[in-house]
Chain A
């Protein structure tokens, strides 16, 4: 059976760097930090008091009040990003067979704010247990894919992927593979997360996963810098329309690029710590390249997972050096999390957009906030520090790794 080719025909984003793809890309290229003091709740008593929030967000700008109440913010971000991507691609046109269009969404956690609110309500009145009837359908992570299908009537394959910070990349990878196999013509895919709440910040704080640089939040997300002290929580959503190549050509869709590889592996090592030699990371990049026999030397840009945690950043650079050999020094590498913060389950979708637009524009967005080299990170690697770099980007790879040891990579190629 011949596998079908898959292309990207639509993009959407609501992120800490802007509530549209254009704004996101401009700020990525300009090296803007999305970090600021937390406004979603009173963080006075929390170890971390800042995050990368979606700015000026008011659900009433996007939903009527009744609709908004039934959607946790993670699902709101999903609907907003998906709507932009659907409009961008025109995939909801009447001539397209809606039975052949699916939705695969990624969310690492789901409705954590909803869960936390309901439990607070329950604890106040345990002798008369009352839960809102929308509690479960608001909280469950898969509801994002459900809502998107209902809005547009897309009746193809429909589910959510849950693999912590690799979720969106797993979603995009699944969509890619299902189209290749002919199981659907197109997918609305991507990811969203909204965990800047007491439980989210407090939970990650107690794992010592978050930066606590409260006096200088804009420089807190500093991947590969010697002084890095954890990731900065982000929130938002990003969406891609993946479509079978011939179908896209036939209907005259705008094609951003081709999807040419996806890899998925496990560390099988530890709950939260990466394998010290980057074993899973190494295998996942190799697996992604293997899909279309892409040689490591063909890669121009890697958008790394690079969360700004002490151990994760080292392990990933070791893996890159092993997979790419001498070519590792010719690559442009960057962690856009230095600007967006870490959007957890949505990270892979935002970073896929960074790769796709790097290919379209031949510009690599930077890793900002570099002050001092870490002796454990090879200084000859080009991390695209401080400023975006112009270079021809033909093929770009995005890595994401999640708690639980889940690794997922995806590869995009110019068309």
Chain B
């Protein structure tokens, strides 16, 4: 697993209080990991902080799974 993927995973485990094994690439924040709309916004903010990037709202809307988040950050992190 890439460094980015493991950091993303750690944030999700911490914020959503889920077990590490549940955080698979395909897992959806809302459907599989129990996040509501506010949790999802918070996750995006945590990714921004951790990777020092700004994720515009229209891009954030497309980040629905763990894999989406990792690919977005891999492409945009400095």
Tell me, in angstroms, the Cα distance from A128 to B45 when the chains sit together. 12
**Is B10 in the interface zone, CB < 8 Å from A?**
no
Per-residue contact bits, chain A 120-132, to B (CB 8 Å; 1 contact, 0 not): 0000000010101
Tell me, in angstroms, the Cα distance from A67 to B54 when the chains sit together. 27
B42 (CB) vs chain A CBs: closest residue = A133
For B63, the chain A residues whose CB sits under 8 A away are: none
**Is A380 in the interface zone, CB < 8 Å from B?**
no
Contact of A133 with B48 in the complex, beta carbons under 8 Å: no
Interface size on B, residues (CB 8 A): 11
For A64, the chain B residues whose CB sits under 8 A away are: 17
Contact of B45 with A66 in the complex, beta carbons under 8 Å: no
Given contacts A130-B45, A132-B45, contact A66 B16 (CB under 8 A): yes
For B54, the chain A residues whose CB sits under 8 A away are: 128
Contact of B17 with A134 in the complex, beta carbons under 8 Å: no
Contact of A66 with B41 in the complex, beta carbons under 8 Å: no
Per-residue contact bits, chain B 5-45, to A (CB 8 Å; 1 contact, 0 not): 00000000011110000000000000000000011011001
Tell me, in angstroms, the Cα distance from A137 to B42 when the chains sit together. 13
Tell me, in angstroms, the Cα distance from A69 to B11 when the chains sit together. 14
Interface size on A, residues (CB 8 A): 11
Tell me, in angstroms, the Cα distance from A306 to B54 when the chains sit together. 53
CB distance from B54 to the nearest CB of A (A): 7
For B39, the chain A residues whose CB sits under 8 A away are: 133
Interface SS of chain A: helix, strand, loop or mixed? loop
Contact of A65 with B17 in the complex, beta carbons under 8 Å: yes
Per-residue contact bits, chain B 41-58, to A (CB 8 Å; 1 contact, 0 not): 110010010000010000
Contact of B38 among A128, A130, A133 (CB under 8 A): A133
For A65, the chain B residues whose CB sits under 8 A away are: 14, 17
For B16, the chain A residues whose CB sits under 8 A away are: 66
Q: Which of A64, A65, A66 has the most chain B CB atoms inside 10 A of its CB? A: A66
Tell me, in angstroms, the Cα distance from A132 to B43 when the chains sit together. 10
Per-residue contact bits, chain A 41-65, to B (CB 8 Å; 1 contact, 0 not): 0000000000000000000000011
Contact of B15 among A66, A67, A128 (CB under 8 A): A66
Tell me, in angstroms, the Cα distance from A69 to B16 when the chains sit together. 10
- 4 more contacts with CB within 8 A, not counting A132-B42, A133-B42, are A69-B15, A130-B45, A133-B39, A137-B38
Tell me, in angstroms, the Cα distance from A69 to B38 when the chains sit together. 12
A125 (CB) vs chain B CBs: closest residue = B49
For B48, the chain A residues whose CB sits under 8 A away are: 130
For B38, the chain A residues whose CB sits under 8 A away are: 133-134, 137
CB distance from A147 to the nearest CB of B (A): 14
CB distance from A67 to the nearest CB of B (A): 8
Tell me, in angstroms, the Cα distance from A301 to B65 when the chains sit together. 62
CB distance from A70 to the nearest CB of B (A): 8
Tell me, in angstroms, the Cα distance from A132 to B42 when the chains sit together. 6
Cβ contacts A to B, 21 pairs, < 8 Å: A64-B17, A65-B14, A65-B17, A66-B15, A66-B16, A66-B17, A67-B17, A69-B15, A128-B54, A130-B45, A130-B48, A132-B42, A132-B45, A133-B38, A133-B39, A133-B41, A133-B42, A133-B45, A134-B38, A134-B42, A137-B38
Per-residue contact bits, chain A 220-253, to B (CB 8 Å; 1 contact, 0 not): 0000000000000000000000000000000000
Tell me, in angstroms, the Cα distance from A132 to B14 when the chains sit together. 15
CB distance from B12 to the nearest CB of A (A): 11
Tell me, in angstroms, the Cα distance from A65 to B16 when the chains sit together. 9
Q: For chain A residues 85-134, which have a beta carbon within 8 Å of chain B?
A: 128, 130, 132-134
Tell me, in angstroms, the Cα distance from A137 to B16 when the chains sit together. 17
Tell me, in angstroms, the Cα distance from A65 to B19 when the chains sit together. 12
CB distance from B43 to the nearest CB of A (A): 10
Tell me, in angstroms, the Cα distance from A16 to B15 when the chains sit together. 30
Q: For chain A residues 128-144, which have a beta carbon within 8 Å of chain B?
A: 128, 130, 132-134, 137
B18 (CB) vs chain A CBs: closest residue = A66
Tell me, in angstroms, the Cα distance from A134 to B39 when the chains sit together. 8
Tell me, in angstroms, the Cα distance from A210 to B17 when the chains sit together. 39
Tell me, in angstroms, the Cα distance from A64 to B41 when the chains sit together. 20
A64 (CB) vs chain B CBs: closest residue = B17
Tell me, in angstroms, the Cα distance from A133 to B43 when the chains sit together. 10
For A66, the chain B residues whose CB sits under 8 A away are: 15-17
A134 (CB) vs chain B CBs: closest residue = B38
CB distance from B49 to the nearest CB of A (A): 8
Per-residue contact bits, chain A 371-396, to B (CB 8 Å; 1 contact, 0 not): 00000000000000000000000000
For B17, the chain A residues whose CB sits under 8 A away are: 64-67
CB distance from A123 to the nearest CB of B (A): 16
